[in-house]
């Protein structure tokens, strides 16, 4: 049961926070998660704006800064469920053709599970780790992608270092997939967890992209170790060692 605490002011009472009482059989961690959700302004905004989750604002904020979801872009959203990132991409790349005079883009969302339909997005069940997944995606797109993005996270084990290693491995696999489907000059965006084991990923990306930035957008919770890598200017499938030409670093959100 949720209980609101109120504070009186000269203009009457106003809501401050929502506190959740512990229920029999429910873990404390679940209670705290529910309380955080009820008090999260991004959760409330997502409901008001029609997004499927607060994660939509992370890609919005990243795109506001780096401008990779441009009208006409072809986007692949890995691990797209529940669909918040795809919703943002549909609007920004003009997948519905609603921006008169602007190129019409495409959004392809793939996931292991079914995704509720999103107007303007093409959604498919597919394991991107399968051997022929890249060929299937290119067939659906009718060519190469301009953006590959991923908000995927491995299932939590409850052990911080193990979870960090798992998500870095998942991000490296997503990067390898991007190398197979990206157009030259394209962009790769993915979630990682800060923890010290992502050095090999950074080296890999710096060899293949002109610039690599590590960002924690405002919508990312302050108590979360997640950050996002934004790699721009894909050098092509042949790659390049040009480490001296690449830029890197943690960029404030």
Establish if 18 belongs to a structural domain. Answer: yes
Tabulate helix, strand, coil % of the chain (nearest 5): 35, 30, 40
Q: Is residue 47 part of a domain?
A: no
| One domain for residues 236 and 122 | yes
Does residue 10 belong to any structural domain of this protein?
yes
Tell whether 15 is covered by a domain: yes
pLDDT above 80: residue 9: no
Kindly report the CATH number assigned to the domain that includes residue 60. Answer: 3.40.50.150
Catalytic pick among 191, 206, 216, 227: 191
Annotated binding site for S-adenosyl-L-methionine: 83, 85, 111, 127, 151
One domain, residues 96 and 199: yes
Same domain, 58 and 35: no
Residue 7, pLDDT > 80, answer no
Q: Prior bond to 82 cis, omega within 30?
A: yes
**pTM beyond 0.85, yes or no:** no
pLDDT of residue 120: 98
pLDDT tens digits along 146-186: 999 999 977 666 667 777 778 888 999 999 999 999 999 99
Q: Per-residue pLDDT tens for 29-74?
A: 444 334 454 456 777 887 887 888 889 999 999 999 999 999 999 9
The pLDDT of residue 80 is 97
The string of pLDDT tens digits covering residues 201-250 is: 999 999 999 999 999 999 887 777 789 999 999 999 764 444 444 445 55
Question: Could you tell me the CA-to-CA distances from 220 to 41, 54, 61, 118, 203 in Å, in that order?
Answer: 12, 9, 10, 24, 24
Above 90 in pLDDT, residue 113? yes
191 is an active site residue? yes
| Residue scoring higher pLDDT (154 or 92) | 92
pLDDT at 81: 96
Asked if residue 45 is part of any domain, the answer here is no
Three-state DSSP class for residue 204: helix
24 and 141 housed in the same domain:
no
Q: 22 with 131, same domain?
A: no
Predicted local distance difference test score (pLDDT) of residue 45: 83
Is residue 191 within 8 Å of 150, Cβ to Cβ? yes
Q: How many domains does the chain have?
A: 2
Q: Is the model's pLDDT at 114 over the cut of 80?
A: yes
Classify residue 153: in a domain, yes or no. yes
- Kindly state whether residues 104 and 145 are assigned to the same domain: yes
142 and 29 housed in the same domain: no
* Residue among 171, 118, 176, 181 nearest 145 (CA): 181
Same domain, 99 and 18: no
Question: Using CA atoms, how far apart are residues 97 and 82, in angstroms rounded to an integer?
Answer: 23
Which residues are CB-neighbours of 142 under 8 A, at least 6 positions away?
none
The H or E element that residue 199 is part of is helix 199-208
* Residues of the binding site: 83, 85, 111, 127, 151
Give the pLDDT score at 167: 82
Kindly state whether residue 126 falls inside one of the protein's structural domains.
Answer: yes
Residue 44 falls inside a structural domain:
no
Q: Distance between CA atoms of 70 and 72, rounded to whole angstroms?
A: 6
Q: Please check whether residues 141 and 170 belong to one and the same domain.
A: yes
126 and 65 in one domain? yes
Q: Are residues 32 and 91 in the same domain?
A: no
Higher-pLDDT residue of 197, 103: 103
Alpha helices in 129-191 (DSSP H): 133-141, 160-181
Pair 26, 149 in one domain: no
Torsion sign across C-alpha atoms 84, 44, 224, 194: positive
pLDDT confidence band for 28 (50 / 70 / 90): very low
Domain containing residue 67: 52-251
């Amino acid at each position: 049961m949720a209980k609101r605490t109120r504070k009186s002011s000269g203009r009457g009472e106003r809501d401050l926070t929502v506190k959740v009482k512990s229920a029999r059989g429910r873990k404390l961690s679940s209670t705290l998660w529910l309380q955080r959700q009820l008090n999260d302004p991004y959760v409330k905004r997502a409901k008001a704006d029609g997004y499927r989750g607060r994660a939509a604002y992370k890609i919005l904020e990243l795109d506001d800064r780096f401008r990779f979801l441009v009208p006409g872009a072809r986007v692949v959203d890995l691990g797209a469920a529940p669909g918040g990132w795809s919703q943002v991409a549909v609007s920004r790349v003009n997948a519905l053709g609603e921006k008169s005079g602007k190129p019409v883009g495409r959004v392809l969302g793939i996931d292991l599970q079914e995704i509720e339909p999103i107007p303007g997005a093409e959604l498919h069940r597919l394991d991107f780790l399968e051997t022929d997944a890249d060929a299937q995606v290119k067939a659906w797109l009718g060519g190469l992608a301009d953006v590959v993005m991923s908000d995927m996270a491995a299932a939590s084990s409850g052990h911080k270092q193990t979870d960090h290693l798992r998500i870095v491995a998942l991000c490296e696999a997503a990067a390898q997939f991007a190398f197979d489907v990206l157009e030259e000059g394209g962009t790769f965006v993915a979630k990682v967890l800060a923890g010290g084991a992502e050095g090999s990923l950074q080296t890999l990306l710096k060899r293949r992209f002109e610039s690599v930035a590590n960002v924690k957008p405002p919508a990312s919770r302050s108590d979360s170790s997640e950050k996002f890598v934004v790699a721009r200017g894909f050098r092509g499938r042949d790659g390049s060692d040009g480490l001296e030409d690449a830029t890197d670093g943690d960029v404030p959100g």
